[in-house]
Amino acid sequence: MSNGPHRIVFANEKGGTGKSTTAVHVAVALAYQGARVAAIDLDSRQRTMHRYLENRAETMRRRSIALPTATFEVFGGDDAGELDALTEKLGQEHDFLVFDTPGRDDPLARHVATRADTLVTPLNDSFVDFDLIGQVDAETFKVRRLSFYAELIWEARKKRAMATIKDARREMDWVVVRNRTGYTEARNQKRIDQALTELSKRVGFRVASGLSERVIYRELFPSGLTLLDKGQLGELGTSHLVARQELRTLVSGLNLPVPAKPAPAALESAA
Ligand SMILES: Nc1ncnc2c1ncn2[C@@H]1O[C@H](COP(=O)(O)OP(=O)(O)O)[C@@H](O)[C@H]1O
Ligand SMILES: [Mg+2]
């Protein structure tokens, strides 16, 4: 790709919203499209993304198969300059850099979030999660005020527009992805939809559809497989085919640049 690697950062300041799960699936989906993907886990304590991809590598060894995948690293340091050096190095050999971050306020998570080309914030359908972006009025559910995090990203984008953040080249696309949908009551869901729409206009993010609540997303972790690994999953029921489609919709909803030429191996397995 022409402008160097595209940085996708999965971030919000809360655990359990689906950052790591979504990050792994997006990374693998891009690898299936023939992109060279590096996954950098900044959550050096939980290392969910890293361990998922490690499990994937192990499954490949055990079954003597090659699957499209991402190279993976954990960054456990606390020095932004060191992280930039690693980013620079990986950027020379990859089309996409996928960063997963810990679910708390963390200086390095902020560092990469403010430099993302695509910032993905997964939210569960709940006002508890919504609170990470903005507070709503208790009576009317109208948005009352932006969260600290929304302010932070807002400021970063403003600075980027004025090009004061070095090495942030593109405009940031901030995408809020609804994760684990399907288990909230319809009325609650509608309120969240309305509040998100209102907030998206004020803060300048897009809302994209994410993954629905499915046991399979939890079960695949030990093998490191994803719903895209057709031949490896055994017989797939209809619900899994629907799930695979929702995964494709998620990836296309991120509007990522298309890698120059798909790798032949990936083309073959994606066919
Ligand atoms: N779409 C989904 N359906 C079912 N379980 C999910 C889904 N997304 C995430 N999970 C589960 O929810 C938990 C938190 O997800 P995770 O991706 O680790 O979130 P985070 O990285 O934001 O802390 C994990 O147990 C994960 O397996
Ligand atoms: Mg995580």
Q: How many residues does the chain have?
A: 271
Task: Collect the ranges in the chain with pLDDT lower than 50.
Answer: 1, 267-271
What are the structural domain ranges in the chain?
A: 6-270
CATH T-level topology, domain 6-270: Rossmann fold (3.40.50)
Task: State which amino acid sits at residue 140.
Answer: T
The pTM assigned to this predicted structure is 0.91
Q: Give pLDDT, residue 268.
A: 47
Q: Give pLDDT, residue 269.
A: 47
Q: For residue range 51-108, list pLDDT tens digits in order.
A: 999 999 999 999 999 999 999 999 999 999 999 999 999 999 999 999 999 999 899 9
Burial 85-114 (b: 16+ CB within 10 A, else e): ebbeebbeebbbbbbbbbbeebebbbbbbb
Residue 171 makes CB contacts below 8 A (sequence gap 6+) with 157, 160, 161
For ligand 1, say whether the CB of 247 is within 6 Å of any of its atoms: no
Q: How far apart are CA 254 and CA 241, in angstroms?
A: 20
Q: Say how many C-beta atoms besides its own lie within 10 A of residue 198's C-beta.
A: 15
Element (H, E) at 149: helix 148-161
Q: How far apart are CA 202 and CA 182, in angstroms?
A: 26
Task: State which amino acid sits at residue 254.
Answer: L
Which 3 state secondary structure label does DSSP give 230? helix
Q: Give pLDDT, residue 193.
A: 84
Q: Say how many C-beta atoms besides its own lie within 10 A of residue 1's C-beta.
A: 15
CA of 163 to the centre of ligand 2 (A): 30
Structure tokens at 139: 């009576």
Residue given tokens 């993976």 in the structure block: 72
Q: Give pLDDT, residue 270.
A: 45
Round the CA-based radius of gyration of the chain to a whole number and report it.
18
**Mutation pick for ligand 1 pocket among 184, 209, 218 (CB with most ligand atoms within 8 Å):** 218
For ligand 1, say whether the CB of 213 is within 6 Å of any of its atoms: yes
For ligand 1, say whether the CB of 26 is within 6 Å of any of its atoms: no
Q: Give pLDDT, residue 167.
A: 57
Structure tokens at 105: 């306020």
Residue 225 makes CB contacts below 8 A (sequence gap 6+) with 56, 59, 67, 232, 233
